[in-house]
Amino acid sequence: MKRVFLIFGGLMLAGCGAFEGGLFAPKDRAPETAEAQATTTAAAPPAGANTADTLDTTSEEERAQAVADAGAAGGETDLGVTIASLGAVAEPGIWLKTPLVQAEARGRVEFPEKGTKVAVDLIPLDAEPGAGSQISLAAMRLLEADLTSLPELRVYRTE
């Protein structure tokens, strides 16, 4: 893996990841399942995208729906707390990759520090529980978390 530094409005983000074909080139692999991107139709960022606004390709409607869906409570399963880092910025959608799930599911994450929450696609992450999670750029922005932070999130499965 290469160490990658992203600069947004004067802020430098450090992260690890293999980016073939350039810093923001999307990975040449299919999503884990078609359901992984079922909640958004966001496309990969355009070539040359280098700001949070241009990298986040979710529509206003998708973002509004994710916030609205997070408000519906009842019947969910509390999966626990995780520390999340910003995931691959070129990977579109509103998702959380986490070792707290074994199969893809719909879920909700809450960021108690800000009192925000958002509905997400939960995607299994091949790591030990407690190893942390990766969250999409769109979800991180909706939670109002600083992109350089490691927010502590409460995770729920809603389906």
Tokens 């499965």 sit on residue: 157
Q: What is the pLDDT of residues 58-117, one digit of tens each?
A: 888 998 999 999 987 678 999 999 999 999 998 999 999 999 999 999 999 999 999 999
Q: Which CATH superfamily is domain 32-157 in?
A: RlpA-like domain (2.40.40.10)
Q: How long, in residues, is the chain?
A: 159
What residues contact 88, with CB distance under 8 A and at least 6 apart?
17, 27, 134
pTM (2 d.p.): 0.71
Q: What is the pLDDT of residues 8-40, one digit of tens each?
A: 444 444 444 333 333 333 333 333 333 333 456
The residues spanned by each domain of the chain are 32-157
